[in-house]
Amino acid sequence: DTAVSQTPKYLVTQMGNDKSIKCEQNLGHDTMYWYKQDSKKFLKIMFSYNNKELIINETVPNRFSPKSPDKAHLNLHINSLELGDSAVYFCASSQDVVAGQDTQYFGPGTRLTVL
Amino acid sequence: SQQGEEDPQALSIQEGENATMNCSYKTSINNLQWYRQNSGRGLVHLILIRSNEREKHSGRLRVTLDTSKKSSSLLITASRAADTASYFCATGGGNKLTFGTGTQLKVEL
């Protein structure tokens, strides 16, 4: 009965590779997000989608491409991985389309390590 | 730039004591939320306080908001070892939440 799930939990890969992280929510929410948390625990919004439509893109390099096949899923594909991409990536969801108005529910995170 | 700044960055207390964390922010907000993050886990929502509210309670949690000073505080009363975690404030305005830098709380037995 997990609300927001992410796979994989850990991802170790070489520089230059392409990888994907998957996210699914079973809360019936309309809005989903990707956040990046660095080694200092600084959490920053990357993208948000509402009903499969991109509504926030926070100056993220275009090597990062989110894809939302339906409103319950928001996947993150990363091309040409760089050392600086190493971080924990969190998926989240909320009911309200206006992200700042509502509680967000977070997945367990995916720890990405680029060697 | 980062919206919220928590103070202190780290706090260590004994079980049973109260823990107070502060958050300052820079721009106008619709609401302010507090989240907890246990080590290696995702964030969990604790409480939301709207800009027209001054104080809110939830169990052992008490949150205050002073919009004139652009600050909020989170008080955890009668702390327990299980409260050990990082605590983040997040300001809601426009179409996104902006998270603070976090306070790492350690509650020792």
Say what the pLDDT of residue A14 is.
97
Which long-range contacts link A10-13 to residues 24+ away (Cβ below 8 Å)?
A: A10/A110, A10/A111, A10/A113, A11/A110, A11/A111, A11/A112, A11/A113, A12/A113, A12/A115, A13/A81, A13/A112, A13/A113, A13/A114, A13/A115
Check pLDDT > 50 for residue A85.
yes
Q: What percentage of chain B carries pLDDT values higher than 90?
A: 78
* Residue A103's pLDDT band (cuts 50, 70, 90): confident
Mean pLDDT, residues B42-66: 96
Is the CB of residue B61 less than 8 Å away from at least one CB of chain A? Answer: no
Is the CB of residue A66 less than 8 Å away from at least one CB of chain B? Answer: no
Per-residue pLDDT tens over the stretch B1-20: 446 788 899 999 999 999 99
Per-residue pLDDT tens over the stretch A49-71: 888 888 888 878 999 999 999 98
Is the CB of residue A104 less than 8 Å away from at least one CB of chain B? Answer: yes
Question: Which of B2, B45, B101 is the closest to A103 by Cβ?
Answer: B45
Q: What percentage of chain A carries pLDDT values higher than 70?
A: 94
Between chain A and chain B, how many beta carbons pairs sit less than 8 Å apart?
A: 64
Say what the pLDDT of residue B3 is.
60
